[in-house]
Structure 1
Amino acid sequence: MKTVAELLKLKDLDHQHVHTIAPQQMVLDALKLMAEVNIGALPVLENGQVVGVVSERDYARKVVLKGRSSIGTPVSAIMSSPVITVSPQHSIEACMGIMTERHLRHLPVVDDGKLLGLLSIGDLVKEAIAEQSDLIQQLEQYIRGE
């Protein structure tokens, strides 16, 4: 199974750039950015370090359901923290296990304290399906004696 580093290299150019937000920015800013670039979560960076992740789920549960305002609420008030991260050396399988166990949909990739990327559950499922498809093709070729 591939590593996180290999998966990040395979992401198309539009999804290799990681959009981030600062903890003091307003929730409305995060929502606008997520809508603009069609993503569901943003790593929260402070002094170059990942201090949280803010997602659509955080917005729904911690702003809408609690009657808060997205204009006057800072990202730090609703972000998920502490952050669970992975390194580029982690396997896709290990990431899937972390996401399943912790009920996460997004996983920041950090190396030496630097944010390298953000994996979504969709990224991991897509890779798992591709690997299974390759294995099926290899087995079919083996059965046919090719």
Structure 2
Amino acid sequence: MLQMRHRMTHRTAADRCLRRTAISFIIAIVKRQKGKKGINPPACLCACLPSGCNKSGARLLIEDSKEQRSRSLEGAIGFRETTMTVRAILDSKGHQIQSVEPDAKLSAAIKVLAERKIGAVLAMSKGRIEGILSERDIVRVLGERGAGVLDEPISAVMTRKVVSCRPADTVAAIMEMMTMGKFRHLPVIDGEKVVGLISIGDIVKWRVGEYEMEQEALREYIKTA
């Protein structure tokens, strides 16, 4: 009984020391080394442990404390990219859709892109998507065919196999779609209706906002730890 109480005293003292000296170390683990094993504890932590609690014991204490604090931090940050939906981003940026007729000249589509300062435009007919035309498509066909292609119809150069997403899709899901498909724009379709167009720029803008929220959560975490 006395031996058990002695061990508990050692453990409590070590935890108090962890609280004072290892917050930044734990944050680094959570942010950069999540899931790694065998992380060496700071020297200041090992020095303050009672005799008989060696470096391996300190590492175990760090792992235990890291796991508890990691859960708390994850709850604060929320990892919202796994739950934030396309609908929320559209509600923030707007549901405007820039489109052109498939039989319009390529030069007309370029004018729309320039005036609206956007990177892609939908080719639509009677409310249905026939294709999508991006800056990459334009650069590619200009390189292949020269300036004469500007008088050709958009239907001759647009991408016909259009990958789309739904308002309920998560940001994490569409990021994976864009990465795997190597494209930067996704039309958003709700049922049979086109309700928006989301780009990698929209996601980056959202992620910057999330990053700022995460930094605030980390600051609050450190204050209350």
Please say whether Structure 1 and Structure 2 have the same fold, judged by a TM-score greater than 0.5. yes
1:34 to 113, 119, 122: 113
What is the aligned partner in structure 1 of residue 179 from structure 2? 100
d(CA) in 1 for partners of 2:153 and 2:198? 24
**Aligned equivalents of 2:199, 2:99: Cα separation in 1:** 15
Q: Which residue of 1 aligns with 2:152?
A: 73
- Is 1:8 the counterpart of 2:90? The answer is yes
Residues 82-93 of structure 1 aligned to structure 2 (within 5 Å): 82-93=161-172
Letter in 1 for 2:106: V
Q: CA deviation at 1:68?
A: 5.4
| Alpha-carbon distance between aligned partners in 1 of 2:195 and 2:175, rounded to the nearest angstrom | 18
Structure possessing the higher radius of gyration over alpha carbons: 2
Is residue 136 of structure 1 aligned with residue 218 of structure 2? no
Contact 2:127 2:193 in 1 (8 A): yes
Deviation string 1:27-49 (CA, Å, 9 cap, x unpaired) is 01101111111111101112211
Corresponding residue to 1:114 among 190, 193, 197: 193
For structure 1, list consecutive stretches of 5 or more residues without a partner in the other structure: none
* Seq. identity, %: 34
1:124 counterpart residue number: 203
The unaligned stretches of length 5 or more in structure 2 are 1-79
8 Å contact kept, 1:18–1:118: yes
Query: What value does the CA root-mean-square deviation take over the aligned residues?
Result: 1.6
Q: Note if contact 1:63-1:78 (Cα within 8 Å) is conserved in structure 2.
A: no
Distance in 2, Cα, partners of 1:24 & 1:138: 51
CA contact (8 A) 2:187 2:197 kept: yes
Secondary structure in 2 matching 1:18: coil
- Say which structure is richer in strand: 1
The C-alpha deviation readout for 1:36-83, integer Å capped at 9, x for no partner, is 111111011122111211011111102343225244211011111210
Q: Quick check: which one's helix share is greater?
A: 2
Cα deviations by residue, 1:120-141 (Å, 9 ceiling, x for unpaired): 1111111122212212211220
CA deviation digits over 1:94-125, x for unaligned, max 9?
11111111011111111112111111111111
> Which has the higher relative contact order, 1 or 2, with Cα contacts under 8 A spaced 6 or more apart?
1
Secondary structure of 2:145's match? coil
Q: List 4+ stretches of structure 1 deviating above 3 A.
A: none
